[in-house]
């Protein structure tokens, strides 16, 4: 699709609607001379060059990529109006779109009924889920894997809830024996299971944890901020992902997913969903400023945040219209990255210079140069990352590092001399479908970097 054309159409269509209300003069205070604009814009364009090329397959580092053009056009069209999804009178059209995309996400996770809304981020979405946990399980704390996102500990601190990191096993998944020992103390009211850890893309055993939920009367919240959309390809097939943890999400109390990660959206788009709509009662508040158009429960009444961009809902709505939440829709966007990760892990296993850290469960590959000592692996990984991105653009390769402990390496069967306790290895998030065609090139480049030392 032609981005130029559709951005122009967005401006035209919104302009047409605006003119129905009659012409008026823009205030002169807002007028900027074309020449000034041109100069300022040139400066902006120049400054934006100081970015990494998140869009290109040569960028195989962090969880970053540009949004789909449909999301850009949907966002811009709605942003020209700038609705606020805090309340129906702030954004009647986009609030309805938000309800529709939330319903689509709920059915992707197998929720028969739900309460939910978009948030500005996964962190905010998790905060809301933990806030509800505090209300349903007062005085009890939150358990999460030591490999869970770092913001869980921070949000527990903010909410005044005790938090308990649980050991991860040799695959980076929460250790259920360690969890059960903790649950026996009676101090935990909520367990956060991560469906796709940010570092490794590991899937906590959500299906097996369900049994503990009954036995110990805890809530289970699933942090699927990164991995949630892999539900679409969780079919145990050769280029899919493990079905069982994703199937179990339907039985969990709440789930978070970030459309601004694998949902092709610009930043500012997370989502939280609750299985029991009655938790809406915990958000009760009264505001004299809003709510004059309806007596329904407004999105603003079930959200901790106030103003939220209606444009985010429009962007996601337009994206889902074109790439629906089906295996053939958005699922077909995720599968190539999954294949790329499997293929690269295979090449790494056969490499004389490199080896995989552990098999990828989603589309995140972690690997390390073959060396005897952890201190050498650390230094070489950092040199490889730096050398990769300092090459000329057409030959550069962008990698990320990931901190590991000597014991985590040993748990994966790597026999490495632990002359230091922790060190960095390499990590590549292959979240663009285009990565699949570049795996051989990336691997060859990384082998060269390893050889150059």
Ligand X SMILES: *Cc1c(COP(=O)(O)O)cnc(C)c1O
- Is the CB of 131 or the CB of 438 nearer to ligand X? 131
Q: Which H or E element spans position 401?
A: strand 400-405
CB of 151 to ligand X, least distance (A): 6
- Is the CB of 85 or the CB of 151 nearer to ligand X? 151
- The span of 38-46, 219-227, 340-348, 359-367 binding ligand X (CB under 6 A) equals 219-227
Q: Classify residue 358 as left (phi > 0), alpha (psi -120 to 50) or beta.
A: beta
Place of tokens 């056009």: 73
Per-residue binding string, ligand X, 350-389, x by CB under 6 A, is: ----------------------------------------
Q: Point out the residue whose Cβ comes nearest to ligand X.
A: 122
Q: DSSP assignment of 103-157, as one string?
A: HHHHHHTT-SS-EEEEES-HHHHHHHHHHHHHHHSTT-EEEEETTS-THHHHHHH
- The span of 83-91, 172-180, 220-228, 389-397 binding ligand X (CB under 6 A) equals 220-228
State the pairing for strand pair 422-429/400-405: antiparallel
Q: DSSP assignment of 238-265, as one string?
A: TTS--HHHHHHGGGSSEEEE-HHHHS-P
- Determine phi and psi for 205, rounding to 5 degrees: -75, 70
The whole-angstrom separation of Cα 285 and Cα 298 is 11
Q: Classify residue 268 as left (phi > 0), alpha (psi -120 to 50) or beta.
A: left
CB of 347 to ligand X, least distance (A): 26
- Is the CB of 88 or the CB of 366 nearer to ligand X? 366
The whole-angstrom separation of Cα 424 and Cα 414 is 14
Per-residue binding string, ligand X, 113-152, x by CB under 6 A, is: --------xxx--x----------------------x-x-
CB of 318 to ligand X, least distance (A): 21
CB of 148 to ligand X, least distance (A): 7
* Site membership for ligand X, residue 225 (CB under 6 A): yes
- Terminal Cα distance for the chain, rounded: 43
CB of 127 to ligand X, least distance (A): 9
CB of 223 to ligand X, least distance (A): 5
CB of 14 to ligand X, least distance (A): 28
The whole-angstrom separation of Cα 391 and Cα 380 is 17
The rounded Cα 13 to chain-centroid distance in angstroms is 32
CB of 69 to ligand X, least distance (A): 22
The whole-angstrom separation of Cα 65 and Cα 77 is 21
Name which of residues 243 to 272 contact ligand X (CB under 6 A).
258, 270
Q: Applying CB under 6 A, which of residues 147, 204, 207, 223 lies at the interface with ligand X? A: 223
CB 190 within 8 A of CB 221: yes
- Is the CB of 149 or the CB of 213 nearer to ligand X? 149
Per-residue binding string, ligand X, 168-207, x by CB under 6 A, is: --------------------------x---x---------
Nearest residue to 293 via CA among 116, 84, 98, 92? 92
Using CB under 6 A, list all residues that contact ligand X. 121-123, 126, 149, 151, 194, 198, 223, 225-226, 258, 270
């Amino acid at each position: 699709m032609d981005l130029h054309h559709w951005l122009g159409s967005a401006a035209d269509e919104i302009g047409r609607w605006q003119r129905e209300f009659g012409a008026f003069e823009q205030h002169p205070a807002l007028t900027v001379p074309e020449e000034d604009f041109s100069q300022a814009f040139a400066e902006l364009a120049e400054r934006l060059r100081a970015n990494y090329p998140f869009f290109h397959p040569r960028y195989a580092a962090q969880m970053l990529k540009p949004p789909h053009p449909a999301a850009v056009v949907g966002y811009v069209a709605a942003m020209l109006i700038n609705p606020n999804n805090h309340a129906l009178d702030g954004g009647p059209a986009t609030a309805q779109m938000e309800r529709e995309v939330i319903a689509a996400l709920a059915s992707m996770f197998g929720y028969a009924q739900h309460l939910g809304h978009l948030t500005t981020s996964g962190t905010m979405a998790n905060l809301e889920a933990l806030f509800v946990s505090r209300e349903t399980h007062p005085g009890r704390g939150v358990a999460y894997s030591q490999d869970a996102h770092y913001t869980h500990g921070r949000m527990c601190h903010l909410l005044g809830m005790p938090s308990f990191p649980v050991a991860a096993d040799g695959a980076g998944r929460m250790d259920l024996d360690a969890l059960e020992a903790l649950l026996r103390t009676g101090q935990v009211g909520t367990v956060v299971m991560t469906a796709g850890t940010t570092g490794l893309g590991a899937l906590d055993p959500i299906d097996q944890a369900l049994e503990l939920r009954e036995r110990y009367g805890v809530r289970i919240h699933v942090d699927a901020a990164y991995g949630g959309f892999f539900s679409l390809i969780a079919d145990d097939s050769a280029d899919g992902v493990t079905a069982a943890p994703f199937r179990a999400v339907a039985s969990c109390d709440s789930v978070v997913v970030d459309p601004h990660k694998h949902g092709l959206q610009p930043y500012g788009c997370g989502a939280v969903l609750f299985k029991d709509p009655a938790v809406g009662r915990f958000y009760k508040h009264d505001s004299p400023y809003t709510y004059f158009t309806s007596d329904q429960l407004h999105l603003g009444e079930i959200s901790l945040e106030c103003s939220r961009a209606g444009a985010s809902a429009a962007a996601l709505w337009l994206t889902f219209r074109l790439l629906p939440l089906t295996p053939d829709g958005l699922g077909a966007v995720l599968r190539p990255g999954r294949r790329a990760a499997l293929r690269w892990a295979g090449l790494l296993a056969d490499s004389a210079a490199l080896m995989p850290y552990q098999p990828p469960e989603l589309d995140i590959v972690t690997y390390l140069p073959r060396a005897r000592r952890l201190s050498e692996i650390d230094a070489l990984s950092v040199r490889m990352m730096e050398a990769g991105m300092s090459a000329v653009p057409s030959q550069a390769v962008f990698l990320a590092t990931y901190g590991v402990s000597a014991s985590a390496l040993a748990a994966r069967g790597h026999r490495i001399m632990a002359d230091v306790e922790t060190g960095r290895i390499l990590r590549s998030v292959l979240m663009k479908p285009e990565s699949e065609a570049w795996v051989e090139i990336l691997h060859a480049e990384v082998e060269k970097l390893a050889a150059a030392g």
